[in-house]
Amino acid sequence: MFEDLKARLRLHEGVVPHLYLDTLGLVTCGVGHMIPSPDAMNGIAMVRMDGTVAAPEDKIAEWRRVKELQAAMLPKYYEERSMLRMTPAAVDALQDADLAGFHSALSHLLPGFAQFPGPAQEALLDMAFQLGAGGLVSKFPHLTVAAKTCDWQACADQCHRAGIQEWRNTATADLFRRAAEVSNAAA
């Protein structure tokens, strides 16, 4: 599902197989997966440095240890201070689950989402991945209205996010423009 989007998210978010603090100081791992609390670690598959499966108490301790570190450092900083890792398969599975969850949430928030052109779905999923599905709707009300009416050019005009790389904003706007072209060609 959405292999191009998965690759772009890996480029935009990075792939970090250990816990780290993002620019907001939120505990994160894998491909930009935010872990809101120590208890949420139960859903994250991790192994110890010797390759054995990490116990729940190990994962909770790791979350608490990383949460006390300085935020927004390079991944190497956290790698040197952490004792648990995700396997590549666990990173892939978590990213797939995240995308499926955002797809489901957007299908509820934006009627007809599943029928939107592929590029529009990808752009909205990228935004939801960064903002959360609820954050996308609440922080971008004009874009939300435009999406509900399938006005992809208006979505391209409204999709600029503060605090991310400009090339990511450009890529998202380009996806909406491609959706407009697809829609116009089908009309």
- Rounded Cα distance, 129 and 163, in Å: 14
HSE (side-chain half, CA atoms, 13 Å) at 126? 31
pLDDT digits (tens, 9 = 90+) for 111-167: 999 999 999 999 999 999 999 999 999 999 999 999 999 999 999 999 999 988 999
Residue-wise pLDDT for 43-75, tens only, equals 999 999 999 999 999 999 999 999 999 999 999
Phi, psi of 162 (to 5 degrees): -80, 150
> How much of the chain, in percent, has pLDDT values that exceed 90?
93
**pLDDT of res. 187:** 72
Q: What pLDDT does 186 receive?
A: 82
3-state secondary structure the chain: CCHHHHHHHHHHHCCEEEEEECCCCCEEEECCEECCCHHHHHHCCCEECCCCECCHHHHHHHHHHHHCCCCCCCHHHHHCCCCEECCHHHHHHHHHHHHHHHHHHHHHHCCCHHHCCHHHHHHHHHHHHHHCHHHHHHHCHHHHHHHHCCCHHHHHHHCCCCCCCHHHHHHHHHHHHHHHHHHHHHC
Q: What tokens were used for 174?
A: 């380009």
Where along the chain do its domains lie?
14-87, 110-186
- pLDDT tens digits, one per residue of 1-41: 589 999 999 998 999 999 999 988 999 999 999 999 999 99
